[in-house]
Amino acid sequence: MADTENINTSDEAVPPSPSDLSAGAERAGVKKNKGIRRFLQVFDVVGGSNLRNILLSLPFVFFLVILGFLHIANNHLAESYARKISRTEKEVRDLRWQYMETTNKLMKKSRLSEVSKLVEDQGLKELRQPPLIIEVKKEKK
């Protein structure tokens, strides 16, 4: 049966031989192989060794190479952005910590007891009694 089997790789339709018609299940397998072989022949550069096939495959190969370069460049950019984001997040955490520390120091230094300690050297003292209010009455003309 293998001797009578005709596998046509061209686009012409070939009528099946009588031995192919008798084996219905085998015929379906031949059709599948035929389609697969046609599909693989499009991409077959090594097996064909035909200069025309090689030249027809070059645009597809160049397309795949360009896609590979784009994929590598995209991964490189994504990783550099991720490193930049993590660096910026660390900087934000450090600045937030510095802000909170500065705010706490300012709150501590602005307390009445701390201010009175700082100005005591200049001769100023904290009032122990409430301030006196001086009222000035304006005379009417």
Local confidence band at 12 (pLDDT 50, 70, 90 cut-offs): low
Q: Identify the residue with better confidence: 84 or 10.
A: 84
- Compute the distance between CA of residue 79 and CA of residue 102 in angstroms, rounded to an integer: 35
pLDDT of 29 reads 55
pLDDT of 43 reads 60
pLDDT of 128 reads 84
- Compute the distance between CA of residue 91 and CA of residue 114 in angstroms, rounded to an integer: 32
Contacts of 108 (CB under 8 A, 6+ apart): 114
Q: Identify the residue with better confidence: 70 or 111.
A: 70
Q: Which two tokens stand for residue 119?
A: 């100005």
pLDDT in tens, 48-104: 457 777 778 889 999 999 999 999 999 999 999 999 999 999 999 999 999 999 999
Fill in the DSSP letter of residue 71: H
Lowest-confidence segment of 14-23, 52-61, 103-112 by average pLDDT: 14-23
pLDDT of residue 8 exceeding 60:
no
- % of the chain at pLDDT higher than 90: 35
Helix (H) or strand (E) holding 73: helix 51-109
If you average pLDDT over each of 8-12, 92-96, 123-127, which comes out highest?
92-96
Which among 37, 48, 29 has a CA at the least distance from the CA of 9? Answer: 37
pLDDT of 2 reads 47
pLDDT of 83 reads 98
Q: Which two tokens stand for residue 116?
A: 């009175």
In the chain, the N- to C-terminal Cα span, in Å, equals: 136
Where residue 48 falls (left for φ over 0; alpha for ψ -120 to 50; beta otherwise) is alpha
pLDDT of 79 reads 98
Q: Which two tokens stand for residue 78?
A: 């994504």
